[in-house]
Structure 1
């Protein structure tokens, strides 16, 4: 079969002998656009289906794919998921986020090649590159049911209310764009306070309704470079918001386990803090790798120090929260230990005192204590 030839070519490619791939590609291309396109769709589709069974979600697959192949993999994901009527809401959400849509009719590859101004041989070479990149991806913990698998329907809305999200994202966007550290500090603090207050208000409601407490799990992908220090920062924010985090250094992603609302808060704040840290680093373009690595490690370390023991004033002010948060913590711990029974703590070292000092100063400006107010005068 032609599809098998493409998969075999990808295996050859992944073994580090790309020069041997051209013969496979020319052989498949010789059968014409229609047959070659069908073979490409079959080979790529089979590869992606295997990833679904290995625990990968649409956003994960796109994040792990080289950017030069991003449009191709999005189309493959769209084609494969379109075959299923039963998709978990997380899948539908991620498909919308990555823009997965079946925009073509008939054979996909010739039309995609035309869009990219590639010959059939060049397009098939991209197909082989994509399969080679995906076929080596490892097994991951299943976060939600795969396409076609049954799942419990949500009877109550989960996550952060859309109106709160709009306000928080607006505050964080301003914090990321301002050139004034004090303004960024105030905006970040306000965003954290708003989200913390919302999370506790929601917990009170759930306690009154006596809803069962479940733990969600999400993957957060980190931009290279310095993914290790960035993962530490995510872990800091996760701990401050009742979540647990595990870093996959070879993949560059962090798995967050926590209540759905808390995980969403951690994701937003972590991304914003990373942007702000990068802006602070932008003022030192001539600094080397050791300085930047040390800066980010110190930034995360100092944020952890400032959040440790701070707790949440809103939580202690309402005794109704105690049993709800205890149930949530038990649910989070149970799922985390089931997913990661052998997890280990990883530590980082630094080699630039200047970078460490600058990172601490930058973290001091990032006041994220919920409810904290500046005192004028």
Structure 2
């Protein structure tokens, strides 16, 4: 088995040439690719592994330049290549000074369980996987850059997120809600937690009015089939929480633009509701694609209505909030326009009446409290 080591000075030229062979193979057809893979394999495990790492590192460098983040690279590749891309990212990012990484980079790298890039004998099958991964990474499109890339100027972020004290109160309420045997008490505690989060968002909007934070962006990756209606569910949650969204159908992710507190609430709630909708759909009687599509579209439609109503109930009636929210909305719109110029609106349709009705009913039963645990 060949494990990545730092090649000595005499071997570096050979490693660079062999890495170029693998990169070329990723851009060629199967026949020509095999020829180059065999050339690399003929050099032995140590050089082949070093060349593999160098080829992957270059592909990742170019990917970061195209606006991608490490966690997104893991989400975008086919599942059989997940472990390999994670190992490659771990090796590549060890070169980056932590002090010059944006907090988003640090958080995503900390969540990755990395291992060394290894090639086992025979080398050709392993090199095929390397070439396959390089080809996938090279094919990923340009994305709007959300945060500074690695090794750029030292970054400072003003996005503070949700106050930890508020989060502690919310978690305390929900812990009580999860432990009580009384359904009415659990609902009251959960509703109190939701009110606390919503009120906090409005209060922060007023408090920071004189020194408003800039709107920011993040991407939320979807899983499984029916991604268009799932993206519509994310849009429903985002719109109710003063955020805007855009769906990448080829990649299976949703771009979100908003202020940090609103984005945190949106991501928590959208993730929870996606789990709930999947569970509800599994219990629904319909099995056709049209039924399931209609179910999920209706679910998103009704959830949006419920969230808008819930936000209206806790929104302060003070006129001082009106210009503040208008200013924040304008900031979100400006950020969205800068990141996604020329975006087109597209709606997901539903044609199955029974699926639509079942989806509405399931949404009426959905738990809108983002921090409550949802059984999978």
TM-score under structure 1 normalisation? 0.83
Q: Secondary structure at the match of 2:111?
A: helix
What is the CA distance between 1:216 and its match in structure 2? 0.7
What's 1:375 paired with? Answer: none
**How many residues matched?**
349
Q: Distance in 2 between matches of 1:172 and 1:348?
A: 34
Asked whether the equivalents of residues 213 and 327 of structure 1 are also in contact (C-alpha less than 8 Å), the reply is no
Judge conservation of contact 1:184–1:366 (CA < 8 Å) in 2: no
Describe the shift of the 1:287–1:174 C-alpha distance in structure 2 as closer, same or farther (beyond 3 A).
farther
- The answer to whether the aligner puts 1:9 opposite 2:20 as a matched pair is no
Which of 93, 96, 109 pairs up with 1:81?
93
Deviation at 1:294, TM superposition (A): 1.0
CA 1:189–1:87 in structure 2 vs 1: closer, same or farther (change >3 Å)?
A: same
Counterparts of 1:345 and 1:96, CA distance in 2 = 36
Matched residue SS, 1:293: helix
Which residue number in structure 1 is paired with residue 40 of structure 2? 28
* 1:146 positional shift: 0.8
How far residue 192 of structure 1 moved from its aligned partner, in angstroms, is 3.4
Q: In 2 relative to 1, CA 152–326 (structure 1 residues): closer, same or farther, beyond 3 Å?
A: farther
Task: Structure 1 unaligned segments of length 5 or more: list them.
Answer: 371-377
Q: Is the 8 A contact 2:23 2:134 kept in 1?
A: yes
- The corresponding residue for 1:279 is 279
* Cα contact 2:286–2:292 (8 A) shared by 1: no
Write the deviation string for residues 60-88 of structure 1: whole angstroms up to 9, x where unpaired.
Answer: 11110111111211121122222222111
Deviation string for 1:177-220 (max 9, x for gaps)?
A: xxxx999977875553332122223333323xx22321010000
Partner of 1:197: 199
- CA RMSD in angstroms comes to 3.0
The superposition leaves residues 213-254 of structure 1 with CA deviations (integer Å, 9 ceiling, x where unpaired) of: 210100000002111001001011101101000001111110
3-state SS in 2 of match to 1:246: strand
1:145 aligns with 2:184: no
2:325 is matched with which residue?
Answer: 325
Equivalent position SS for 2:56:
helix
Query: How far did 1:91 drift?
Result: 0.7
- Deviation, structure 1 residue 44: 0.5
Structure-2 separation of matches of 1:184 and 1:365:
15
Stretches of structure 2 lacking an aligned partner (at least 5 in a row): 1-16, 371-376
Which aligned pairs between 1:253-268 and structure 2 lie closer than 5 A?
A: 253-268=253-268
How far the C-alpha of 1:47 sits from its partner, in A, is: 0.5
- Between the aligned partners of 2:43 and 2:284, the Cα distance in structure 1 is 55
> Is 1:237 matched with 2:249?
no
